[in-house]
Amino acid sequence: MLPVYNVLTDQEVLRIHEASLKVLEETGVFLDHPEAQRILSEHGARISDDRKKVFLPRDLVERTLKITPSAFVCGARNPDFDLEMKLGNLYMRQVGGPISLYDMRNGQMAPLTMKDNVDSAKLINALPNIDVSSCMTPQDINPVTYDVAVVKAMLENSQKHFWALVTHSSHLKYELEMVEAVAGSKQELKKRPLFSGIFCVIDPLRYPKDEIDRLLLWGQYHIPVRVPITSLVGANAPYPLAGAMTQINAEFLSSVAIVQTLCPGMGLWYYTLLQVLDMKSGRSVANGPELMLLYAAAAQMSRHYNVPSTYSSGTLTDTQAHQALYHYGSTQTMGVLMGITEQGGAGSIQAASFYSHQAMVLIDESMGYLKALAQGIDFSPETLAVEDIAANAGKGEYLSSKLTIKYLRKEKHYVPKIMDWRQLTNWEEKPDTMVDRAEDRVQKILAEAPQTPLPPETQRELDRIMAAADKEFCG
């Protein structure tokens, strides 16, 4: 693997860590959950007199960092797609939550449907460089229990690990029951979690009660969680980049302390999903060099703590196809150079507001390129080819070389499926765009997608659980 890019000096890493600890010990976090307060207090935390804040001392934070897993398994319905989340591995995750489908060919939007969500799962099953599916927000199903219905659809159609977004802890109980039914037992689900969750800190430094309730449920099954830090620099986080980084890291460390105290040994990611407030217009900006510096600093802090990292490179996009392609390429490249374990946002348009099938396959294409790049070069004595050069230089060609024949399959070179390196005159004969070719690939994959039904008894159990959720929440 290629070496990663460090934006911080060793001294700056320690300064961020120390500043973050000072914030947690002296400012604390807002956490109004009596049971969580009781457990944290038993482990050394101090509770404010009004019972609204928790102050996390250095030794509690550093003890919980030591038991935070440096690697964990993200299982899949098809075990061939199981993932090991750890520093040094490189994965790509679909965008979660969009409500609209976007066609990059004509700029047209439509409400996202359950079929679109299912089609995205089928696409990802076939795309080699998209490793994790996500739940989106279909607009054509019951909005009260849509999150439970989408988890059911993902279990029925996705062969890969997927990420669930949950509206309330009362819904999560049904989702966990469904996933347990597919896994076979609670113990099997603990060993190979088929999906992963989310545990949100609300900037700045605030943990709502239902987030803690969800965490306790995730913890019963040992489901790994992403801990999104959603700072808007200059609005709910300090404007100086160093100050923003202090709050970002303090929120990560507070999440570690809470997760590992309430659910010891549970896997989590250092997850940054950042924006900057444009002080001239009042708009939030989801791209730019300032954000890349913060993402690089956060990635370096994750390596310092030996915890897998994730950020949503694919969401940093515009609706214009040519500009979106630039954003995909630049942010994904930066993610690889920064050593991000899991990049997210595949298929996203305009900060995850929209989802696009074409964008999904374009990001799969660019991720294949970057994974090949990240492998670096094999400099073994044989590949240095001294003898091969001596034997073939005089002939003027290496096509017939034994070394070429040996490494033609062993050292595979990247072959694009959508990028077209035709010369200009050849392209003018068939002037299709990358987006056109992406749409062709979408249609080919969906037309050839195999049927992967669950066992009948499992399908009946999912139907029963869905009906029970609808009965409780919809009457």
* Dihedrals phi, psi of 398, to nearest 5 degrees: -120, 10
Residue 474, CB-side half-sphere exposure with 13 Å CA sphere: 14
How far apart (Å, rounded) are the C-alpha atoms in residues 269 and 293?
19
Q: Residue 161: helix, strand or coil by DSSP?
A: strand
Q: Contact 448/125 with Cβ under 8 angstroms? A: no
Record the pTM. Answer: 0.93
- Per-residue model confidence as pLDDT tens for the chain (475 residues): 778 989 999 999 999 999 999 999 999 999 999 999 999 999 999 999 999 999 999 999 999 999 999 999 999 999 999 999 999 999 999 999 999 999 988 889 999 999 999 999 999 999 999 999 999 999 999 999 999 999 999 999 999 999 998 999 999 999 999 999 999 999 999 999 999 999 999 989 999 999 999 999 999 999 999 999 999 999 999 999 999 999 999 999 999 999 999 999 999 999 999 988 889 898 887 778 898 899 999 999 999 999 999 998 766 666 677 777 777 888 889 899 999 999 998 998 877 788 999 999 999 999 999 999 998 898 999 999 999 999 999 999 999 999 999 998 888 888 888 888 778 888 778 888 889 999 999 999 999 999 999 999 999 999 999 999 999 999 8
C-alpha distances (whole Å) from 261 to each of 38, 214, 395 are 11, 15, 68
How far apart (Å, rounded) are the C-alpha atoms in residues 420 and 434?
8
How does 338-350 read in b/e, with b if 16+ C-beta sit within 10 Å? bbbbbbbbbbbbb
User: Left (φ > 0), alpha (ψ -120 to 50) or beta: where does 53 sit?
Assistant: beta
How far apart (Å, rounded) are the C-alpha atoms in residues 172 and 369?
37
State whether CATH 3.20.20.480 applies to domain 71-200+265-374. Answer: yes
Using only the alpha carbons of the chain, give its radius of gyration. Answer: 24
Domain ranges of the chain: 71-200+265-374
C-alpha distances (whole Å) from 474 to each of 145, 170, 172 are 8, 13, 16
